[in-house]
Amino acid sequence: MTPLLAIANPLGGIDHSVALWFHAHLTPTFVSVLRGITEFGSSEWIAVVLGVAVLYFVFKRWWPSLLMTVVAIPGGMLLNEWLKILVHRHRPFVDGWFVDWSGYSFASGHTIGATLLYGQLALFIFPLIKSRRGRALVFSAALFMVALVGFSRVALGAHYLTDVLAGMFLGTSWLTICLLVSRPLRRAIVRPVLENVLPEPTPELVPIPVQADAPVATGSNSLI
């Protein structure tokens, strides 16, 4: 099958050198550890976390967050599968006792899935944290999980280094696009909801001037 999209790889030499170095240092114990790490970017794990998030948003009736989650994570992963077919890059290793994958290599599906999942979770948690240190901690944790999953894919020989870097870049770009598009949509959805929930404003009270009592006639002016 001829690739529909040909991309020259200027880092091809580095890709192959890194893949061969890890391949030469793989041990059964190391592979077991890497397989445990890589599960945090697997489609099964993402489906479990995504299902819990969807149920929570439905229970809370947070419809903008629900829409953002469904479009951002599964949508980005489907776009990556389409990109794999277009680029048609083969994996570093397709045969061996450690191989448990199939399909094409560019870009890394586990890495883009981890980028979308943990990046989206960080975006939901950010507004709940007021301190800069807390937000920096959340951002660092999300970045650490993405980097860990990406490292496991390269070390296992499932992907080249550029596959992982492309997954991070594409996942971040897709999240940014979804965030920018969802902002006006979020305002459009939240405003009618608030109008239906909040009580109608009471009419403004206008002071009415009070007329002074009519003067009472004195005895000298009364008629006899």
Q: How confident is the prediction along the chain (224 residues), in pLDDT tens digits per residue?
A: 545 555 666 777 888 999 999 988 889 999 999 999 999 999 999 999 999 999 999 998 888 888 889 899 999 999 999 999 888 888 888 776 777 778 888 999 999 999 999 999 999 898 888 899 999 999 999 999 999 999 999 999 889 999 999 999 999 999 999 988 877 766 655 444 434 444 555 555 556 665 655 555 554 444 44
Decide: pTM greater than 0.85. Answer: no
16, 88, 90, 159: the catalytic one is: 159
87 lies in some domain: yes
Whether the link from the prior residue into 107 is cis, omega within 30° of 0, is: yes
* Residue 154 belongs to domain spanning: 26-191
46 lies in some domain: yes
23, 88, 90, 110: the catalytic one is: 110
222 lies in some domain: no
Total tally of structural domains belonging to the chain: 1
Are the CB atoms for 161 and 11 separated by under 8 Å?
yes
Q: Is 16 designated active site?
A: no
DSSP one-letter code for 108: P
208 lies in some domain: no
CB atoms within 10 A of CB 115: 30
- Ordered DSSP codes for 151-216: HHHHHHTSS-HHHHHHHHHHHHHHHHHHHHHHHHHHHHHHHHHHHHHSPPPPPPP-PPPPPPPPPP
Q: Is 25 designated active site?
A: no
201 lies in some domain: no
66 lies in some domain: yes
